[in-house]
């Protein structure tokens, strides 16, 4: 359907600012600063709406937010003026009327490849991949992947059956990755027409056959634009790296306090440096021994280091799958949001941490970008 518009105040980030986009259970928050990252301004948006993910499209200076209501379903919100005003869309962002499955929540909105102007992708629950060719105004289901639901070994994870990760290969506009819980990771090499599961080497101990082709509970996946053939994955069953676009995965969990966790992020300038936030499995899902910690590897997962300087003890916190991100500043910043409503950040690659804000609703997502225009 067509868009609605809502205003939300006059404060907005300027060109060159670092923009931190925080999605929570009850709304979205924007924080922005210069590269010093000492003084932050903020604005609030979509209050009362669960915001699962946000993203920034540098091609068009657009902020996207995936918002949903338990009652009224999901929408894509779009702002072209730094959050001053928003338009909302959902035309075509559901499965065909004759199907039983329905989109009840939007889990991801990601800008498309630089060579595909207007293209934006969305991931949903119930799991589906949707594509817009007009910057989010209209959507169509990606049949090549969505139709596999009927044949592959898919089942809901703790968050439902959801498509939560969409990655673009910056060197090839036809190569797209999607990750689904609990189905596993998929890759398309033809612009989304056909998809193949890429889960070899990933454990699925909860399945009758522990090494199935699909059915894996991937929690988050990422790639670095300078080395797009290498993927990292935080899975329900461990932390993994693939050096061949998902063809084979290597377990790199050794050295972490737990195989279990949700989010992960890659250093903005060093593709070998990756951050994780391991949690105690399985029903506990809080920081081991109540010590808030981010873990960092500088060598592709061969060794891991606990980062706790400035992070609280006695903190039985959970960090959800989209709630960690890095910024593009010269000294790479790292941002972590918790279900307790905290937003911690580091301005020195994770060596030291401080609070950016407290007392938010439970944080569901954190994304960071540099604003290209005011």
Partner 1 sequence: MSEDAVAVQTVHVRIPAQIRRLYGASAQEQVQAATVRAVVQALDARFPGMGERLMEPGGHMRRWVNIYVDGEDIREKNGAETMLRAGCEVIIVPSIAGGNNEKNTATGTS
The residues of the shown chain that bind partner 1, judged by CB under 8 A, are 1-6, 48-49, 69-73, 75, 88-91, 94-99, 102
Write down the least CB distance from residue 4 to partner 1, Å: 5
When the beta carbons of 77 and 242 are compared against partner 1, the nearer one is 77
When the beta carbons of 93 and 311 are compared against partner 1, the nearer one is 93
CA distance 361 to 35: 26
Write down the least CB distance from residue 276 to partner 1, Å: 34
When the beta carbons of 6 and 171 are compared against partner 1, the nearer one is 6
Q: Which residues contact 298 (CB under 8 A, 6 or more apart)?
A: 270, 272, 273, 305
When the beta carbons of 70 and 330 are compared against partner 1, the nearer one is 70
Write down the least CB distance from residue 217 to partner 1, Å: 26
Write down the least CB distance from residue 50 to partner 1, Å: 11
Write down the least CB distance from residue 144 to partner 1, Å: 21
When the beta carbons of 69 and 174 are compared against partner 1, the nearer one is 69
Write down the least CB distance from residue 115 to partner 1, Å: 31
When the beta carbons of 6 and 355 are compared against partner 1, the nearer one is 6
When the beta carbons of 4 and 117 are compared against partner 1, the nearer one is 4
Write down the least CB distance from residue 151 to partner 1, Å: 22
């Amino acid at each position: 359907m067509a868009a609605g518009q809502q205003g939300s105040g006059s404060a907005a980030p300027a060109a060159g600012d670092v923009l931190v986009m925080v999605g929570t259970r009850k709304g979205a928050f924007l924080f922005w600063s210069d590269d010093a990252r000492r003084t932050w301004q903020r604005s609030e948006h979509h209050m009362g709406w669960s915001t699962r993910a946000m993203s920034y499209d540098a091609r068009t200076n657009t902020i996207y937010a995936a918002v949903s209501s338990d009652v009224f379903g999901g929408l894509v919100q779009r702002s072209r003026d730094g959050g001053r005003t928003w338009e909302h869309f959902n035309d075509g962002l559901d499965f065909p009327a004759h199907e039983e499955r329905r989109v009840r929540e939007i889990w991801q909105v990601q800008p498309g490849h630089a060579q595909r102007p207007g293209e934006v992708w969305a991931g949903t629950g119930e799991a589906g991949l949707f594509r817009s060719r007009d910057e989010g105004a209209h959507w169509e289901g990606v049949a090549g992947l969505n139709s596999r639901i009927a044949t592959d070994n898919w089942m809901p994870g703790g968050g439902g059956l959801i498509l939560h990760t969409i990655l673009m290969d910056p060197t090839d506009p036809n190569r797209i990755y999607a990750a689904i819980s609990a189905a596993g990771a998929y890759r398309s090499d033809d612009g989304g027409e056909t998809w193949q599961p890429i889960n070899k080497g990933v454990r699925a101990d909860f399945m009758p056959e522990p090494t199935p082709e699909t059915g894996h509970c991937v929690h988050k996946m990422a790639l670095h634009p300078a080395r797009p053939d290498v993927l990292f994955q935080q899975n329900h069953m461990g932390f993994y790296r693939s050096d061949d676009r998902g063809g084979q995965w290597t377990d790199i969990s050794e050295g972490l306090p737990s195989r279990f966790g949700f989010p992960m992020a890659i250093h903005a300038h060093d593709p070998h440096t990756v951050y994780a936030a391991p949690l105690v499995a399985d029903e506990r899902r809080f920081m081991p021994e109540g010590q808030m910690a981010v873990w960092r590897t500088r060598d592709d997962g061969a060794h891991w280091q606990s980062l706790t300087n400035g992070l609280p003890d006695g903190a039985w916190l959970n960090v959800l799958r989209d709630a960690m991100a890095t910024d593009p500043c010269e000294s790479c910043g790292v941002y972590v949001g918790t279900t307790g409503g905290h937003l911690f950040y580091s301005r020195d690659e994770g060596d030291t941490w401080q609070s950016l804000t407290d007392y938010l609703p439970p944080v569901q997502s954190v994304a960071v970008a540099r604003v290209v225009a005011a």
